[in-house]
Amino acid sequence: MERVRERKCVAAFGAHIGDLELSFGGVAAKCAADGNRVVFVHMTAGERGHPSLPPEKYKEQKVREGAESARKLGVEFRLMPYSDGELECGREEALAVCRAIRELKPDAVVTHWKGSYHRDHAKVHEIVKEAVFFASLPGFGDLPRHSVRALYFCENWEDPKGFEPKVYADFSDSFDAWVEAIMVHEFVRGRGLPSDYPYADYYKALARLRGIEAGFEYAEAFMLDEDWGKGRLRLDRFPWPQP
């Protein structure tokens, strides 16, 4: 009798709607297509990033875009109640993420790398590491504790300081679905302004570059936390840790 494949869960925590889609969306789509549960938890909407719309209006747009992009990727969409540009790594934020980890019980967690030019990205890195620690201990909240077995940091153009690819994950089969999903976001498509950053061009080129480096067509690259993954990571099982 063929063994039924166990459904796994990966929880990804990003600073703003759009961050995870660009830096982890391809592998997330592949994980979801393989029948696994993938949850995108956005700490803020990124509502202060529009050149002309007021934050409240842009937040409405970002939430619509995030939900539609998640649908196309096959992942779940969640938004935390924090404000763009005002994130702090405090007890409240860490315990909120701790509760999400305990609720979801992920086999793997993905978030920002620490070496970032953007304070929100760096704060989310700190928050998630604190939350992973809290989630593993008794006495924090009313949900059973949960120990995260794999913690990865995705590649973002704003988080380059000290980032050295350690793990390459093939998502060639999900590349088209990923492109369709990221193009839902107005900031990725571009607004026709001279200051527009070419997000779509950059991340599609990066996916091809990482694929070439690893012998795939398209890939995303990740860093490992110092405390997770050493000596027990199999690339063909990414992002799931080896039993």
Q: Say what the pLDDT of residue 3 is.
A: 44
Mean pLDDT confidence for 145-157: 95
Q: What gap in Å lies between CA 90 and CA 109, rounded to an integer?
A: 20
Domain count, the chain: 1
Task: Grade residue 235 by pLDDT with cuts at 50, 70 and 90.
Answer: low
Task: Grade residue 192 by pLDDT with cuts at 50, 70 and 90.
Answer: confident
* Of 239, 213, 205, 242, the residue nearest 224 (C-alpha): 239
140 contacts 95 by C-beta, under 8 angstroms? yes
Residue 24 lies in a domain: yes
> Which residues are within 8 A (CB) of 107 and not within 5 positions of it... i.e. 6 or more apart?
8, 9, 10, 149, 150, 239, 240, 241
Residue 214 lies in a domain: yes
Taking CA atoms, 196 is separated from 187, 203, 224, in Å, by 8, 14, 31
Residue 2 lies in a domain: no
Instruction: Write the CATH number for 95.
Output: 3.40.50.10320
Residue 63 lies in a domain: yes
Residue 122 lies in a domain: yes
Q: Which amino acid is at 83?
A: S
166 contacts 230 by C-beta, under 8 angstroms? no
Provide the mean pLDDT of the chain.
92
Residue 233 lies in a domain: yes
pLDDT tens per residue, range 33-76: 999 999 999 999 999 999 999 999 999 999 999 999 999 999 99
Residue keyed to tokens 């860490």: 94
Q: What is the sign, positive or negative, of the torsion defined by CA atoms of 215, 220, 225, 230?
A: negative
Does the model's pTM come out above 0.85? yes
Angle CA(215)–CA(220)–CA(225) in degrees, nearest 5?
115
Residue 140 lies in a domain: yes
118 contacts 76 by C-beta, under 8 angstroms? no
53 contacts 27 by C-beta, under 8 angstroms? no
Q: Say what the pLDDT of residue 233 is.
A: 47
Residue 167 lies in a domain: yes
Q: Say what the pLDDT of residue 240 is.
A: 76
Would you give the distance in Å from CA 82 to the centre of its chain? 17
| H or E element in which residue 153 lies | strand 151-154
pLDDT at residue 170 greater than cutoff 90: yes
pLDDT at residue 183 greater than cutoff 50: yes
State which residues form the domain around 85. Answer: 9-237
Q: Calculate what percentage of the chain has a pLDDT beyond 70.
A: 92
Q: What gap in Å lies between CA 44 and CA 237, rounded to an integer?
A: 30
Q: Which 3-state string (H, E, C) describes 163-225? A: CCCCEEEECHHHHHHHHHHHCCCHHHHCCCCCCCCCHHHHHHHHHHHHHHHHCCCCEEEEEEC
Largest pairwise CA distance in the chain? 60
